[in-house]
Structure 1
Amino acid sequence: MCSIIMLQGCEPHQSSDSSVSNATILTMPKSMRDLLARNSMPIHGKVDITAVESIPAHYHFVNAGYFTVAVIAGNSPPITTLALDNKTPIGIEVDVARLIADSLGLQLKLVPTSWEDWPLGINSGKYDAALINISVSKARKERFDFVTYRKDSLGLFVAKDSSIQHISEAKDVAGQRVIVGAGTNQEKILLRWIDENQKQGLATTTPVYFEDKAMAILAIESGRADVYFVPNPSGTWRMENGARIKRVGYLNGGWPKTADIAVTLKKGTGLDQAIHLAVNANIQNGNMHTVLARWGLVNEVLPYSEINPSGFGE
């Protein structure tokens, strides 16, 4: 069973998750420890009466008085990680979930969940919503409702001393060794680029696969690979916290089209309207900008939220 963490004001209850060891915390650079300490302070929003009034009369929250939200279990900064107490979940998704809960006049309850479990958890009523870096897609919209809250973005990173200055299209990776995750959208993009370059008679690009992100960074820093093609939040976190890398490219996760990250809800509950109003209120009042900026992702701020927009596969 996953542990449940209730966030009431500024006093989160303890979680049984201990994915960040005390030894790891002690060996963190001081700059990272300071950042985690600063970002552990909650950013609260205000009750939005319009959003509250848009909650369907027939909708019953999983836990009365709480907005119960699935977030990723484990250590995946800046999406979700643990504060220096090694107990309290913090991160982008926690911050956004808190803003929505505040706007709806609710307290926040977090349920740490694996990526594989969130679809069943939503449909079985284990939580009201999932904020697990979920992108909108045509297939997912058949089963869930979505309310977007930030851009889905991919980053291309190279060693700080690399001669590569810019990557935005297929020809820019010709002849390069590019690290991607197996089965990811960035792998799909890279394979399309490789096919395009082959048709143009350009030098072969070699995909490189690492399961361990730390090993991937080491491969870039040591020159055993040339480019790290990864979700932008993950790469940016490492770039700003000690890794000797720089970003030379930035793509929307739905390349060549657009796909955004969204609050994911059970299909047809009607709760999407209230969430939509809550997210838009926090975009307009600047809270969303503040949240994303403190995690180094101000370039992922959306101008406005949408309900069930186009995504992958459309």
Structure 2
Amino acid sequence: MADAVGKLLGVRLTRQQASFDAILPALDSGKYDLGLSNITVTEERKEKYDFATYRLDNIAFEAKKGSGWKVRGPRDVAGRTIGVGSGTNQEKLLVDWSKANVAKGLKPTDIKIYQNTGDYYLALGSGRLDAYFGPNPVAAYHAASTGQTEIIGTFSGAGDAIQGKIAATTRKGNGLIRPVQEALNTVIENGAYGKVLARWGLADEAVPSSELNPPGLPRTAS
């Protein structure tokens, strides 16, 4: 998606891989101009950043194949050991679920925080985690490519509040987000967008158009 947007904008794209919790600070400092890494629109983030949506925000629980359990809601993670990425909305959502379970007399969730993909997949494979809770695209790709894991539950990244949305992200007011939004709408209209999502098995997360700073995950959910 970054390549498609860069080509339309006529700029030389330099891609840099980073852990999720490093991206927003790098936007703050000016190290990065644009963030494209499963960043969910939230009301709190909108105070500092501008957003152009390009995908629905679906998150998934991934467990070892044949684990024999499903996650349909907060009760299903009570007493479980679950891994999440550092600084993500999945972490916030899981903390909220655990607190709600404890208030109902259920066991808390043992939440393990990870920064690197390899680390949490090692923990999952060795049985130190019951499941990993992260972006659906990552989980779906890993499950399909390895055949060792499976998706045991999917949810909106915004919880029950609204359908979460993933967006290209810039520092607020720097003038870049509107051209990015226009480029995204162009690739949606010309069909290139659909081909990209289909390639990665994400056709069910498609949006009809890119929105500029839409309603995001509310503060009360975080």
Which interval holds the TM-score relative to the shorter structure?
0.7 to 0.9
| Aligned mates of 1:279, 1:267 — CA distance in 2 | 18
Find the counterpart in structure 1 of residue 43 from structure 2. 138
- TM-score, length-scaled by structure 1: 0.59
CA RMSD of aligned residues (A): 2.7
In the TM superposition, what whole-angstrom CA distance separates every residue of 1:193-226 from its partner, at most 9, and x where no partner exists? 1222223233443223445433422333343321
Superposed CA offset, 1:68-94 (max 9, x none): xxxxxxxxxxxxxxxxxxxxxxxxxxx
The one-character-per-residue Cα deviations of 1:212-245 (angstroms, maximum 9, x if unpaired) are 4334223333433212112223222321221511
Aligned match of 1:311: 216
- Corresponding residue of 2:134: 230
Structure with greater proportional helix content: 2
Aligned partner of 2:163 in structure 1 is 258
Distance 1:203 1:267 in 2: 41
Q: Which residue of 1 aligns with 2:55?
A: 150
Aligned to 1:81: none
Q: Deviations over 1:250-306 (max 9, x none)?
A: 122222333322222354455544433321232233321211221233332222210
Residue 162 of structure 1 and its aligned partner are, at CA, apart by 0.8
Q: In structure 1, what is the Cα distance between the partners aligned to 2:120 and 2:35?
A: 29
Pick aligned residue for 2:182 from 273, 277, 297 = 277
The answer (yes or no) to whether the contact 1:97–1:108 under 8 Å persists in 2 is no
Q: Count how many residue pairs are aligned between Structure 1 and Structure 2.
A: 213
Residues of 1 paired with 2:114 and 2:41: CA distance?
26
Asked if 1:198 is matched to 2:102, the reply is yes
Provide the C-alpha distance between the structure 2 equivalents of 1:237 and 1:216, rounded to a whole number of angstroms. Answer: 15
Structure 1 segment 180-195 matched on structure 2, within 5 A: 180-195=84-99
- 2:47 counterpart of 1:163: no
Where relative contact order (Cα < 8 A, 6+ residues apart) is larger, the structure is 2
**Separation (CA, whole Å) in 2 of partners of 1:266 and 1:180:** 25
Do the aligned residues in 2 keep the contact of 1:148 with 1:262 (CA within 8 Å)? yes
Gap regions ≥5 residues in structure 2: none
Q: After superposing the two structures, state which structure 1 stretch, 220-229 or 208-217, moved more.
A: 208-217
Cα 1:258–1:120 change in 2 (3 A) is farther
The answer to whether the 8 Å contact 1:292/1:298 transfers is yes
Instruction: Kindly indicate whether the alpha-carbon contact (under 8 Å) linking 1:258 and 1:310 is maintained by their aligned counterparts in 2.
Output: no
The answer as to 2:86 corresponding to 1:177 is no
Instruction: State the identity %.
Output: 35
> Which of 98, 121, 124 in structure 1 is aligned with 2:30?
121
Cα pair 1:180 1:210 within 8 Å, conserved = yes
Partner of residue 244 from structure 1, selected from 148, 159, 179: 148
1:110 and 2:9 are equivalent in the alignment: no
Structure 2 residue identity aligned to 1:144:
Y
Q: Give secondary structure in 2 for the equivalent of 1:198.
A: helix
Distance 1:101 1:220, change over 3 A: closer
* AA matched with 1:307: L
Distance 1:231 1:153 in 2: 6
Aligned partners of 2:171, 2:96: CA distance in 1, in Å?
Answer: 33
Q: In 2 relative to 1, CA 290–142 (structure 1 residues): closer, same or farther, beyond 3 Å?
A: same
Contact 2:143 2:149 in 1 (8 A): yes
Amino acid at match of 2:99: D
After TM superposition, the score normalised by the length of structure 2 is: 0.80
Q: Which runs of 5+ in 1 are unaligned?
A: 1-95
